[in-house]
Amino acid sequence: MKRREFLRLSGGLFLASQLPMFLNAKTEDGKEVVGMKEIRKIRIEVGASKPFSALHLSDSHFTRVDGRDNERKHKLAQGRSKIFPKAEAYFDAAVNYAREKDLLLLHTGDLIDFVSAANLDYVKERLGEGKWFASAGNHEYSQYVGEAREDAAYRAQSYDKVQAAFPNDLTFASCVINGVNFVAVDDGYYSFTKRQQKLMKKEIKKGFPIVMLCHVPIYTPEHCKAQLASNGGKCAYMTGAPLEITETFQCDPSLPEEEQWRNRSVQQRADKPTLEFIAWLKKQPLLKAILCGHMHTFYQEQFSPTAIQYTVAAGYNGGAYEIEFV
C-alpha cells in the first residue's frame, strides 16, 4: 500500500500493543544507537476499500541552532537540549520504521522546541523526504519558550518563516485522499477561532469522513481528571475545559496585570468561539477520529458518538501510534 493512500474511517478499536523497536538511529555524536521505546498499535475500522497504516508522531522538540542565531538562542538551546537529548535520534528511528513499512507520516505539533533558523531548515529538509501531513503546536511559534503571552499577535511575529518550512498550511489544512478528509486545525494556544469553524463547515459539506489533527487534546472528562491527578490539580492542558474547571487551575493573583497571562487559569480559559466550535464538532457524524499530542503520554477517550480522541506519547522520548485503517 502506498503512503498516499488514505481510506475511510468510522470507528476505533485499540489493540494494546507495546512494541520495543531497535532501529539504526543515532544521537548527534554518532555513538549511541536508540530504538523507539513504545509504538502502540491501533486498529481503526473504517470500511476502507484497501487497508493502510500510518505512523502518528508528536512533540519531537528539535533544539538546533547555528551561527545565524544569537547568543540568547544558543543559551536556550543548550538548556533545552538537556531535556530532549535524544529527540533527533528517536525521530530518525520513527522515520526509518515508517519507511520500512511504507507508512504515511502524521505529526501533531511541537516538531520544534523553539523558532531558530537551524530548526526550520531541518524541518524543511526532513518533511521534504516523504509524505507528511502536520498540525502546529504551541512551540512552533515559541521564540524563547515562556517569554511572553502566546496569542495571535505573538504567533504572527514568526508565522511566515515557520509556515515556509512546513508542507501544509499550519492554521487550517485539509487533504482528501481515497475518500477520507484529513483536517489539521491549530489549537496550540488552547483555542479555536470563528474562521476555523467556518472552514471546518466547508469540509463537512464535502461529505467525506473526517480525521482531525490538532496539537492540544480537546476536553474530555476522564482525560481531564487524569491530568489534574498527575500534576496536583495545577491544570489540565486541554482545549475547551469548562469554566468551572479552569477556575480551579493554578493562579497567583499577586502577579501584576501584565503578567496575569502566566497563570494557567488564564492561559487555558476557553473563549466563546472555542466552546461553540467544540459543541458543534461533537454533533458532526462525519468526524471519525481526533489525533493529538501535547501531553507527552498515551491516552484514548470517546470524544463524540462517532469519534475517539487518540493522544500520542512524546516523540522525543520514543513514543508513537501505528494506526491500521481497515
Residue 326 has a pLDDT of: 72
- Give the CATH number for residue 27: 3.30.750.180
Instruction: Determine contact, residues 220/242, Cβ cutoff 8 Å.
Output: no
What was the pLDDT predicted at 91? 96
In a domain? residue 27? yes
Question: Does residue 103 lie in a domain region?
Answer: yes
Which residues make Cβ contacts (< 8 Å) with residue 272, sequence separation at least 6? Answer: none
277 three-class SS? helix
55 within domain boundaries: yes
**Mean pLDDT of successive 10-residue segments in the chain (326 residues)?**
35 36 49 81 79 93 96 96 96 94 95 97 90 94 88 94 96 88 96 98 95 98 97 95 93 85 88 98 96 98 97 98 88
In a domain, 67, yes or no: yes
Q: How much is the pLDDT for 254?
A: 86
As a residue count, the chain comes to 326
Degrees, nearest 5: CA angle 47-49-51: 85
Using CA atoms, how far apart are residues 14 and 41, in angstroms rounded to an integer?
A: 7
Q: Is the CB of residue 304 less than 8 Å from the CB of residue 287? A: yes
pLDDT for position 130: 74
Question: What is the rounded CA–CA span in Å between residue 95 and residue 98?
Answer: 5
Rounded Cα distance, 156 and 159, in Å:
5
Closest by CA to 1, choosing from 44, 43, 52, is 52
The grid coordinates of residue 267 equal: 492561559
CB neighbour class for 41 (10 Å; exposed up to 12, middle 13-18, buried from 19): middle
Number of domains in the chain: 1
Does residue 3 belong to any structural domain of this protein? no
**Is residue 146 left, alpha or beta, with left meaning phi > 0 and alpha meaning psi from -120 to 50?**
left
Residue 61 falls inside a structural domain: yes
Joined together, the cell numbers standing for residue 196 give 476555523
Question: Which DSSP letter does residue 190 get?
Answer: S
pLDDT, position 56: 97
User: Does residue 32 form part of some domain?
Assistant: yes
Give me the pLDDT at residue 315, please.
98
In a domain, 162, yes or no: yes
Q: Which domain holds residue 320?
A: 13-219+270-325
Task: At 230, list the grid cell.
Answer: 498527575
Please report the pLDDT score of residue 43 as a whole number. 87
Rounded CA-CA distance 51/2 in Å is: 10
